[in-house]
């Protein structure tokens, strides 16, 4: 049997210790598939003394994380520190620069600096892998990089943030409002103390940008992701959606419009969407993640599983390590980084679809006429309109409508016509209806 | 750029021509991911003159299929002829023996001769791949071979036969009986003129045996798959299941009992099962396939998509070819074939679970008492019992019961007690209830 693959692990939070536990518990499974042993030789974390429930005495403790990158006894550096810049990025650069393999679960860093790191990895012929950065234990990076490799993909979309999905599906189950369910999620450990990145959709945007690059063979363009979170979704919206035959989910959608990956325009968006009851994503509840890829030959493929957690994430980290141990890591973004296309941004106004639009309006005559006139003037055709219940306090009511299929630019124009109108008590919320 | 990967394709049915079409339509996509061109150089089929809608004049036509295996201008032989033995097997042996790569969609051949072929491939260091043999376009062979590689799996199960799933979900939708829906499936091209292999569960058993070998790292043991098909499932069963909160699906289940892949016992079964409405497999309708893998670290993963069809199958064939073009084919069964474990067969009697049992009985007093006495004597605890409707003609009625959780051996014992009883007008049908 070949020499062991020797690891340095930076970061000993739940995922870092999860990786150590997995390599112990499944030593034989891993060794049979990797063709050689995978062994931790060095570790680093902020606090040395902390009890993490695993025996660290067998490993060299490295006080200076950056020193891991140049140790002669290390083949691969595993970064589980987090943060898009700072020490994690410095470590990534120095590990790859030293020709070490580099494996990370850090979606923010890959979304922001993935191209630079892939270029460095290519120059140094060093493996660079990040299955764990997207959708936890689901092998969807591999699925898009290799499983769908024969296809021109048209769309990649999915539920990429477990916190939001937990909150939305709990709102659906209990009828409670967003704030209440956010607190519940925080108590259960499904949301962080500062949940901004999750609930504003930034975390899903990181993952979407990575998946789009892999699936379409384009350079990562995180800045181009149009992103809105779930903080504006109310219990009323969810009840309304339910009455219409939909659930509300935060969906990241990347689509290649008007051409293939060499000539098309890439539209990347993270938004709460209305998902038809019978769509596979409607059945995805709690912290589960799911990704759909639509290929011209494969048709629609669905990958579903645990989107986070120490054990699923460790499963993904070690899957990468097994690939590296077998010398089969491949190009991190499916095609060599210097051949990735630079996609132009798609125009969201051109999107054809149906939308759910919810207005919070003053409860007085003439308001509905004003809204429907704006829709008419902008060329938006209304399929249904519901005004449900009345607010107890403020004299405000919620009006929800669903449009017929049309270009998104018309909806935008209609809302511009209504901007500043005293009839509107709050900004309208637009949620696209996910098509089949 | 490296030299092209040169193919010989044996078999030009819908899948064979699908592969040729894919390589044309997605030439650039494939080449960017493969790192080199993938080109067909030689083809063979039974009828040369037939119009297949693709231009074959660019390729060498080989009259003797076996001659493909030794052509100097061929790197990989793609077998799309079918049949577990005969010409397909001869071709596989001679291609691998000549050191050519070998890619196939032939589940029957892999289930029966996969070990022999993998051994030959290992000796010759020739790539051997069969993503297309299981679940059409879903990259589940890769998913289990590499995506879940860090896990000790406990169960692999899924909907592996599109014909049966189409028939069952159409029976569910229309209330029609099996025979009627089989004819409908044949008209729509979802079932073959001789549907035996599909409806008796043999096709699903082929696929299950392959998935089990990959997922558990054990030698294929097709003979050990206990298999029953869907011909006994009646419209009444489906209505009954619906009333109880279940749908009926043909599910292949491989489970590793009492230990890990080195020491455990492997139970492989294909049977119609009752699937709870909320289980992801319940939402799988029509010819769709879905596979669930349960890993000790990954948790439950679901892979879903088109289980058959020329385009999805071609997508899977070419994914294998891209892996081979990049030199990343790996061990066909996840671990080198000489290291695959030989699993002992599990004892189905030990399975703990709940069952649905349907009796067709003579409509006369005392029958229910006889059945329930047999259950009592065998130690089966009945959760519910329904006697619904009466047969118009024969004076027969259907009695359905659901058992409490218990060992399967007790149910078997109860049915043995009832064997030969004049009260039973037909063999009882047992369908396990899929647990969560």
Q: Mean pLDDT, to the nearest integer, of B55-82? A: 95
Cβ-contact A376, A427 below 8 angstroms? no
Residue A395 vs residues A240, A360, A420, A422, B96: alpha-carbon distances, Å:
20, 10, 19, 13, 78
User: CB distance B149–A26 less than 8 Å?
Assistant: no
B chain contacts of residue A247, beta-carbon cutoff 8 Å: none
Q: What is the pLDDT of residue A393?
A: 58
Q: Is A251 helix (H, G, I), strand (E, B) or coil?
A: strand
Nearest Cα of chain A lies from the Cα of B256 at a distance, in angstroms, of 14
**DSSP per residue, A303-353:** EEEE-SSHHHHHHHHHHHHHHHHTT----TTSS-GGG-B-PEEP-GGG-EE
Scanning B85-158, the segments in alpha helix (DSSP H) are 86-97, 107-124, 140-142
Cβ-contact B54, B17 below 8 angstroms? yes
Q: Mean pLDDT, to the nearest integer, of B157-170? A: 97
- For residue B305, give the chain A residue with the closest CA: A301
Token code pair at residue A267: 């539209």
Cβ-contact B231, B199 below 8 angstroms? yes
Cα maximum dimension of chain A: 81
A chain contacts of residue B149, beta-carbon cutoff 8 Å: 29-30, 33-34, 318-319, 322
Q: What is the pLDDT of residue B435?
A: 84
- Give burial (CB, 10 Å; 0-12/13-18/19+) of B7: buried
Cβ-contact B435, B366 below 8 angstroms? no
- For residue A32, give the chain B residue with the closest CA: B335
Nearest Cα of chain A lies from the Cα of B31 at a distance, in angstroms, of 9
Cα–Cα distance measured from residue B116 to residue B248, given in angstroms and rounded to the nearest whole number: 36
Q: What is the ipTM of this complex?
A: 0.95
Q: What is the per-residue pLDDT across B213-233, written as a single tens digit (0 to 9) for each?
A: 999 999 999 999 999 999 999
Q: For a pLDDT cut of 70, what percent of chain B falls above it?
A: 97
Q: What is the per-residue pLDDT across B91-145, written as a single tens digit (0 to 9) for each?
A: 999 999 999 999 999 999 999 999 999 999 999 999 999 999 999 999 999 999 9
Q: What is the per-residue pLDDT across B241-262, written as a single tens digit (0 to 9) for each?
A: 999 999 999 999 999 987 767 6
User: CB distance B150–A262 less than 8 Å?
Assistant: no
Mean pLDDT of residues grouped by 10 in chain A (436 residues)? Answer: 93 96 97 97 92 93 93 97 95 98 98 98 98 96 98 97 96 95 93 94 98 97 97 94 95 88 88 94 94 97 95 98 95 96 92 95 89 96 83 76 96 96 93 89
Interhelix angle B27-34/B14-25, rounded to 10 degrees, is: 80
DSSP state for residue A218 in the 8-state scheme:
B
> Tokens 């970061």 appear where?
A11
Q: Which domains does chain B have, with CATH numbers?
A: 5-133 (3.40.50.720), 140-307+334-348 (3.30.360.10), 349-432 (3.30.70.260)
Scanning A35-177, the segments in alpha helix (DSSP H) are 86-97, 107-124, 140-142, 162-174
> Tokens 């044309």 appear where?
B24
Any idea which residues of A carry the catalytic annotation? Answer: 207
A chain contacts of residue B169, beta-carbon cutoff 8 Å: none
- For residue B21, give the chain A residue with the closest CA: A297
Cα–Cα distance measured from residue A267 to residue A249, given in angstroms and rounded to the nearest whole number: 19
> Tokens 């124009």 appear where?
A413
Cβ-contact A134, A144 below 8 angstroms? no
Q: What is the pLDDT of residue B390?
A: 61
Instruction: Find, among A212, A166, A216, the residue nearest to A191 by Cα.
Output: A166
User: CB distance A146–B26 less than 8 Å?
Assistant: no
Q: Is A361 helix (H, G, I), strand (E, B) or coil?
A: strand
For the four alpha carbons of B323, B328, B334 and B336, in that order, the dihedral sign comes to positive
- β-bridge mates for residue A431, sequence order: A356
Cα–Cα distance measured from residue A297 to residue B29, given in angstroms and rounded to the nearest whole number: 12
Q: Is B211 helix (H, G, I), strand (E, B) or coil?
A: helix
User: CB distance B137–A295 less than 8 Å?
Assistant: yes
User: CB distance B139–A148 less than 8 Å?
Assistant: yes
The rounded radius of gyration (Å) of the Cα atoms in chain A is 24
Q: What is the pLDDT of residue B314?
A: 98
């Amino acid at each position: 049997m070949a020499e062991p693959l020797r690891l340095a692990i930076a970061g000993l939070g739940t995922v870092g210790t999860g990786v150590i536990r997995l390599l112990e518990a499944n030593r034989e499974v891993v060794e049979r598939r990797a063709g050689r042993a995978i062994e931790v030789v060095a570790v680093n974390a902020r606090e040395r003394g902390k009890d993490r429930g695993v025996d660290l005495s067998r490993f060299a403790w490295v006080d200076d994380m950056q020193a891991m990158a140049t140790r002669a006894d290390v083949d691969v550096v595993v970064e589980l520190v987090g943060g898009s810049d700072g020490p994690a990025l410095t470590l990534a650069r120095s590990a790859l620069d030293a020709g070490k393999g580099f494996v990370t679960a850090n979606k923010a860093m890959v979304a922001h600096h993935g191209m630079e790191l892939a270029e460095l990895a290519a120059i140094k012929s060093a493996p660079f892998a990040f299955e764990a950065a997207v959708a936890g234990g689901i092998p969807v990076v591999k699925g898009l990089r290799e499983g769908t490799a024969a296809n021109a993909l048209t769309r990649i979309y999915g539920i990429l943030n477990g916190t939001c999905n937990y909150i939305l599906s709990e709102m659906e189950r209990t009828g409670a409002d967003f704030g209440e369910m956010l607190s519940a999620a925080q108590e259960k450990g499904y949301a962080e103390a500062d949940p901004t990145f999750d609930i504003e959709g930034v975390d899903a945007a990181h993952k979407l940008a990575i998946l789009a690059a892999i699936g379409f063979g384009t350079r990562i363009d995180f800045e181009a992701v149009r992103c809105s979170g779930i903080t504006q979704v109310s219990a009323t919206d969810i009840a309304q959606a339910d009455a219409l035959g939909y659930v509300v989910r935060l969906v990241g959608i990347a689509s290649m419009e008007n051409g293939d990956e060499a000539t098309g325009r890439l539209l990347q968006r993270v938004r709460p969407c209305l998902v038809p009851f019978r769509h596979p994503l409607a059945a995805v509840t709690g912290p589960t993640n799911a990704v759909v890829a639509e290929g011209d030959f494969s048709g629609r493929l669905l990958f579903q599983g645990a989107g986070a957690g120490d054990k699923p994430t460790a499963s993904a980290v070690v899957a990468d390590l097994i690939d590296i141990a077998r010398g089969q890591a491949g190009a991190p973004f499916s095609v060599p980084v210097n051949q990735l296309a630079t996609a132009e941004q798609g125009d969201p106004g051109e999107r054809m679809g149906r939308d759910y639009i919810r207005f919070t309006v003053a409860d007085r005559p003439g308001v509905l006429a004003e809204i429907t006139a704006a829709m008419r003037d902008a060329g938006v055709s209304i399929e249904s309109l519901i005004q449900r219940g009345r607010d107890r306090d403020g004299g405000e009511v919620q009006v929800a409508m669903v449009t017929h299929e049309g270009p998104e630019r018309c909806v935008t124009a209609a809302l511009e016509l209504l901007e500043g109108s005293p009839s509107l008590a709050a900004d309208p919320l637009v949620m696209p209806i996910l098509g089949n």
